[in-house]
Structure 1
């Protein structure tokens, strides 16, 4: 068990916000170490220490999902995030490979929401023919979950007009069976995933209406800030009622940043009183990996800075990646803390930044979140500028 003395940092959520030495033994803050106990001193000036940040939406099933999958620790501890959740990469067929080749070797705590489809997230779900009703088997997915309760936090499924034009709500209904049988939540991707089937159309509003009928408390709606059809914005510019009634229905909302952010939509959703609960980055090989343009890459901290620029309070932003994201972690693995395992060290700076979404909209903000280190399982993982998105490091 490793011991640390952290100097220069303040404990997030503490009533006393003055910097003071913080003693850590294992993955717990303690008042003091036993006399004579060895320890390592770490200094992080003008920093905060918080329960480990959780990114509930990454794609880290490297190789099996092709260039879509990033390295787990690149998504996790190298970015100051102690706990990551792959959304829909592993399936009932490939989950053993995910455990053996991804989760077990990773320094980051690495879990998944299992795919409702037999093929999982191959090539970022680009091959629509692989995702019809013939590629689902609720019984096999339920069996895989029961055999991997320590690894699986929920079930990933898509609800978009392209899929519904082919199969209607059958796939979401199949995922509902899996959820009801296992007691784990659904993570519902909203917004265009596939184009309409040839010669067919499906009303995007009907997609939301039919999906809403299948939701239960604890289920998670993803991508509230997307401009794409089947998202939360209706043709008249209003916000779909399923988002506005999410709180009273016991549903949760995850930003799922990725390609699915439009600042104009975000302002409309926020102005309608819809506040997301959690912030998943949705990083993958096509938007934050080696083939994506350096000036377009992002990470969880960049998305946190965007949320601040959109006017979301800083305290809530930290909650979005700590206490509010615990629901992504498999129940047997949840630690008795308001966040993930271990600790995240980070800085909140007052610096002017400009942010541009994928539709060319620009916003400005004065609050920037910087990752400094992840402290997990007795090891310290310092964040390197080489791993950071260039846009996080460049002043406006």
Structure 2
């Protein structure tokens, strides 16, 4: 049986998400060990593709923007991109944006949190558009509290497309609202992202960030690592992270996954 391809962003908080938000990984300066973080990166460059920081109030509390600044410095030192989780302040989302440079990633880009969303003000949305034009990557990261239908719909209608479509799956989001990547792709399609852009945002885009082959399509002699989808008519009610509902009329339905020589049929979603 072939193993799946796994890449990792290394959390700047040394304890990681051992107890999720009940014990945040960025309580104060004792939560970060720069020397050990650098050592872990150097020992695992075949797996680690970036540095990650959760820069929202429920994680950092009164520490504010400082953890994101430290994470950015470590990313620069290791010549890796920084992925920043954005949400409720502190820090304010524009404080986070000011740190980022081309190749960095904003995850949960279409969250609907008050004072933590790119749609809070016209100036913030213009800032997000300018960043995307400069090569800062907007990632969906649909989780239990981090994706809003109206934020996504309005942003895409105004020309801001996500660079990558991803899930933030965990125990409290896998049943609802997230379910799986195929459902998340279907939500973005239903909100106005084109079929071609949906495929790009789960294939070539993220493969480039993760340093994976096959960005130009399938080629003889390369290791197989892909999923085959149907694109089916349906009537599936779904939710966003704030409990807003919509009905999907077209679904990306996984048919099979091929990894190396291993072919695994996918369980079909009931609709």
| TM-score normalised by the chain length of structure 2 | 0.88
- Aligned residue in 2 for 1:257: 142
Equivalent residue, structure 2, for 1:316:
197
Alignment partner of 1:228 is 2:113: yes
Is residue 263–residue 361 contact of structure 1 (8 Å, CA) maintained in 2?
A: yes
User: CA shift at 1:299, angstroms?
Assistant: 0.1
Any conservation in 2 of the 1:346–1:369 contact (CA below 8 Å)? yes
CA displacement, residues 291-340 of structure 1 (integer Å, 9 cap, x when unaligned): xxx465510001011111101101110111100111342x3xx2143379
- Which 5+ residue runs of structure 1 have no aligned equivalent? 1-104, 193-201, 289-293, 386-391
| 1:137 alignment counterpart | 33
Residue 151 of structure 1, aligned match among 47, 52, 61:
47
- C-alpha distance after superposition, 1:89-138 (max 9, x if no partner): xxxxxxxxxxxxxxxx9821122111111111212243137542221122
Task: Decide which moves more: 351-360 or 217-226.
Answer: 351-360
1:232 Cα offset (Å): 2.5
Of the structure 1 ranges 245-254 and 154-163, higher mean CA displacement relative to structure 2 is found in 154-163
Q: Which has the higher contact order (CA 8 A, sep 6+)?
A: 1
Deviating runs (4+, > 3 A) in structure 1? 161-165, 233-242, 294-297, 336-341
Alpha-carbon distance in structure 2 between the residues aligned to 1:341 and 1:146:
28
Query: Take 1:209 and 1:149, find their aligned partners in 2: how far apart are those partners?
Result: 31
User: Within 2, Cα distance between the matches of 1:344 and 1:264?
Assistant: 29
Larger Rg: 1
Question: Are the structure 2 counterparts of residues 327 and 157 from structure 1 closer, same or farther at C-alpha, using a change threshold of 3 Å?
Answer: farther
Listed as ranges, the gaps of 5+ residues in structure 2 are 218-222
The yes-or-no answer on 1:359 pairing with 2:237 is no
Report the 3-state secondary structure (helix = DSSP H, G, I; strand = E; otherwise coil) of the residue aligned with 1:158: strand
* Residue-pair matches, total: 265
Post-superposition Cα deviations, 1:55-80, rounded to whole Å, max 9, x if no partner, equal: xxxxxxxxxxxxxxxxxxxxxxxxxx
Q: Deviations over 1:182-217 (max 9, x none)?
A: 11111110113xxxxxxxxx6x6x622221221111
| Corresponding position of 1:325 | 206
**More strand as a share of residues:** 1
1:116 equivalent in structure 2: 12
